[in-house]
Amino acid sequence: MNILSLFVLIPVLTIVGILFTKDYKQTRVVSAIGMGIQLVLAGLLIYLYLAERNAGNTAAMLFTYDTVWFPTLNIHYSVGVDGISVAMIGLTAIVVFAGIFASWMVTFLSREFFISLILLSSGVFGFFISLDLFTMFLFYEVAVIPMYLLIGIWGSGPKEYSAMKLTLMLMAGSALILVGLLGIYFNSAPGGGQLTWNIQQIARIQIPIQMQRFLFPFTFIGFGILGALFPFHTWSPDGHASAPTAVSMLHAGVLMKLGGYGAFRVAMYLMPEAAQEQAWIFIILTSISVVYGAFGAIWQKDLKYINAYSSVSHCGLVLFAVLMMNQTAMNGAVIQMISHGLMTALFFALIGMIYGRTHTRMINEMGGLMKVMPFLGVAWVIGGLASLGLPGLSGFVAEMTVFVGAFQHTDVFHRTVTILATSSIVVTAVYILRVVGALLFGPIKDDHFLQLDDAKWYERFSTITLIVSIAAIGLAPLWLSDMIGSSLVPMVEKITGMSIAGLF
């Protein structure tokens, strides 16, 4: 059995296991065990991957497995990983695991809740291991659809509206992606012969440039919608605000990363010439995202909205870095995806925990929470510091790599947008500290808060898992950045059309 297929299989088995549980206590234990195994497996995968690379295996994809699935259209079930996908799988496993513990007290229809959540995660895992565009798209849909149910049923506030908005916008993105993928498929053999969905095979040929010009915007915007590309980001604040805790965590932490991952693994990698030509449009949009999201966050009063806008800003930086099209910036993009995934998951988890106690998410109604819940307060401060890019936590590594990479372009346009994007670190500090000050510090505004208790064991478990991951990347980023960087070499060579000197 191929180790990668296990990543799809274990969630399915967990779902089957959940069907046999009797009450929410059993359900959550089964879910935790299943996702715990998944986390261990992800760790094992990283270890095996690094061992294989150290043993000198230089193949682009490792642990590959390929079997024909639907011969008429030449659709394969084809899996394999490189350093980027391994890193993303690790991220997903951590966030899902933490998410299970963050939803420990979901008692309403808990079986259905955990089934949807795990189904979603299996879609995400499937997406990251797929090498076949069609199966990749299939898994993408599997990941997006349960979101509707999760928000619509277990959400809060105007949940039907938000769920519908989110789903419709993401479906619009899917439609664009589908057009792009079909276009790629039908142009995958320009010299005649068998058409293919396989990314590695398509990367070897050049899609005709006229077709690229037409297909690139479809694919990039399609994935960009999921990656909160300005101006298609508005599903994010509403969706996140209404979603239950674990769903926000998974959505902002992992699902938005499908956008960034798809944007460069599919759009940029397979259509580099069009990417070169059209990059400037998207660079403008993404640098707007970065600054605009940060400024948007300053004015918000709802914690979830603040974090949603902050995600717009940080995810904007991911796409921004991808479009910079050099080794360093793209490396930074992937690290930023992981870093943002972890810290935004931490934030949403904490928001959920605080909301569960204070029953409000409005920062002007809270204050002085550090005194009554020191654990959550400290965790929040750590998350905030990671978000504003404090060295020693993951955000710094990601941002610096992106900025140094973006600065390698010498022309005025790139310089300007780079400095613009860099300035977001100040704005980020403003809104993060504003929240920290209003939420945790100062006098306690409401006497009811004095009776609140600090985090329970499962909440601590969830929080600590994420904090440890953030700190691990922040303190020792070298292995991660090298793992990603070495896998980026073939992609960057294809995208820039130049062979790059061996840094790794």
Partner 1 sequence: MTDFTYTILIPLVPLAVFIFVGLTGHKMKPIVSGLIGTAGLAFAAVLAYITAFNYFWIGHTAGTGYTSIKAFEISWLHLTEHLTIKLGSLIDPISVMMLVVITTVSLMVHIYSIGYMKGERGYHRFFAFLSLFSFSMLGLVLATNIFQMYIFWELVGVSSFLLIGFYYEKPSAVAASKKAFIVTRFADLGFLIGILMLSFNTNTFDFQTLVSPTGPAITQAGGAAFMGLSVLSWSLIFIFMGGAGKSAMFPLHIWLPDAMEGPTPVSALIHAATMVVAGVYLVARLFPVYALGAPDALHVVAWVGGISSLFAAVIACTQTDIKRVLAYSTMSQIGYMMLALGVSGFGGHEGLGFMASNFHLFTHAMFKALLFLGAGAVIHAVHSNDMSGMGNLRKYLPVTHATFLIACITIAGIPPLSGFFSKDEILVAAFEGNKALFFIEYAVAGLTAFYMFRLYYSIFWGKETHYHHTPHEAPLVMTIPLMILAFGSIFAGFLPFHNLVTSDGLPFETPTEWSIAIPSVLIALLGIGVATFMYRKVTGVPDKIAGAFSHLYKWSYHKFYMDEVYLFVTKKVIFNLISRPVAWFDRHVVDGTMNGIAGITQFASVKIKGFQSGRVQQYAFVFVTGAIALVLIFVYLW
Q: Binding residues for partner 1, per CB under 8 A? A: 165, 168-169, 230-231, 233-235, 237-238, 292, 295-296, 298-300, 309, 327-328, 368, 370-371, 385, 388-392, 396-397, 400-401, 403-405, 407-408, 418-419, 422-423, 425-426, 429-430, 433-434, 437, 440-443, 476-478, 481-482, 485, 500-501, 503-504
CA distance 192 to 165: 42
* Residue closer to partner 1 (CB basis): 273 or 302: 302
Q: How far is the CB of 213 from partner 1 (least distance, A)?
A: 26
* Residue 440 · residue 352 · CB < 8 Å: no
CA 165 to chain centre: 20
Q: Taking the mean position of all CA atoms in its chain, how far away is CA 473?
A: 16
Tell me how far, at minimum, the Cβ of 452 lies from partner 1, in Å.
16
> Widest CA span of the chain, in angstroms?
75
> What long-range pairs does 424-430 form, CB within 8 A, spacing at least 24?
424/290, 424/291, 424/294, 424/313, 424/317, 425/388, 425/389, 425/399, 427/291, 427/294, 427/295, 427/298, 428/294, 428/310, 428/313, 428/387, 428/388, 428/389, 429/388, 430/298
| Amino acid identity for residue 202 in this structure | I
**What are the phi and psi torsion angles at 130 (to 5°)?**
-75, 140
Distance CA 379, CA 366 (A): 17
CB of 74 to partner 1, least distance (A): 36
- Beta carbon nearer to partner 1, 183 or 485: 485
Q: How far is the CB of 375 from partner 1 (least distance, A)?
A: 10
- In the complex with partner 1, the residue whose CB is nearer, 216 or 380, is 380
* Minimum CB–partner distance for residue 299 and partner 1 (Å): 4
* C-beta closer to partner 1: residue 96 or 382: 382
Helix-helix angle 303-323:412-439, to 10 degrees: 160
Task: Compute the distance between CA of residue 349 and CA of residue 101 in angstroms, rounded to an integer.
Answer: 9
Tokens of 490: 């073939």
Q: How far is the CB of 262 from partner 1 (least distance, A)?
A: 21
Shortest distance in whole angstroms from residue 93 CB to partner 1: 24
* Cβ proximity to partner 1, 208 vs 437, nearer residue: 437
Cα 470 versus chain centre, distance:
14
From the CB of 285, what's the least distance to partner 1, in Å?
12
**Which is closer to partner 1, CB of 59 or CB of 503?**
503
Sequence-separated (6 or more) residues with CB below 8 Å from residue 336: 314, 317, 318, 321, 398, 399, 401, 402
Which CB, 37 or 471, lies closer to partner 1?
Answer: 471
Based on CB atoms, which residue is closest to partner 1, 105 or 444? 444
